Each structure stands twice: as structure tokens, then as C-alpha cells.
């Protein structure tokens, strides 16, 4: 067992993880090994593939792209993107409520 140093090693490690997960009966040794492999993948990705910090509209746009959603899909989920207006606190509250609805909708999509 050693650190992951490049993309080829990362892919090989991910294949090992997939093989274990695809087993019918996962033993405690398998679970322990998955933790080690997961830690190695996590450490490699933190160094070489950092996640961008997205907030606000950038986050919504990224999630929409990832889920292949259009603005009309958000409306059908009861979510409206609130344009900026002079009453900032009211706008912010509406935005947070919309974001919470969006997160819940994304969880439902992910859970199938």
C-alpha cells in the first residue's frame, strides 16, 4: 500500500474500490480496505483535483449543468430564482428558501 502519485494509479485504485463494492458479500476486511483506499483517493484529489468553492448563482448553475436542468425545471419544482432588488433582506430570505427547495429536489433526484 502506497500513496497515489498519478492519474493511472488513481484509476487503478478506483477500479479496486469498484471491485470490492460489486461483491455480493463484503467482509469486514473489505470494509477496512475500502476505508484505506478511500483515504488514499481523498488525499490525492485534495492535492491534485481541488473542488472549486461555488456560492450563490454559480453553485445553482453548476448543479443545473450537472443534473442537465433548465430554468423551467426549477420552476416546475417550485423554485424561482429571485432577481436582486432594493429590499435585500427579503430577497435573501426568498433566495435561501429557494436554495433549500433546490437542495431537497436535488436529493430526491439523487435518491431516484
Decide if 64 is inside a domain: yes
Is residue 81's pLDDT more than 80? no
Query: Are residues 93 and 65 part of one domain?
Result: yes
Task: Summarize pLDDT for 51-73 with one digit per residue, the tens.
Answer: 778 787 788 888 888 888 887 77
10 Å CB burial of residue 30 (0-12, 13-18, 19+) is: middle
Which domain range does residue 43 map to?
A: 7-48
Query: Are residues 107 and 64 part of one domain?
Result: yes
Task: Summarize pLDDT for 32-55 with one digit per residue, the tens.
Answer: 999 999 999 999 988 887 777 878
Amino acid at each position: 500500500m502506497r500513496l497515489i502519485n498519478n492519474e493511472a494509479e488513481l484509476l487503478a485504485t478506483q477500479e479496486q474500490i469498484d471491485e470490492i463494492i460489486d461483491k455480493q458479500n463484503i467482509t469486514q476486511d473489505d470494509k477496512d480496505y475500502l476505508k484505506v483506499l478511500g483515504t488514499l483517493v481523498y488525499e490525492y484529489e485534495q492535492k491534485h483535483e481541488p473542488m472549486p468553492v461555488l456560492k450563490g448563482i454559480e453553485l445553482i448553475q453548476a448543479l443545473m449543468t450537472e443534473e442537465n436542468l433548465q430554468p423551467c425545471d426549477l420552476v416546475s419544482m417550485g423554485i424561482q430564482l429571485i432577481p436582486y432588488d432594493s429590499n435585500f433582506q427579503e430577497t435573501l430570505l426568498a433566495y435561501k428558501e429557494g436554495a433549500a427547495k433546490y437542495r431537497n429536489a436535488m436529493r430526491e433526484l439523487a435518491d431516484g
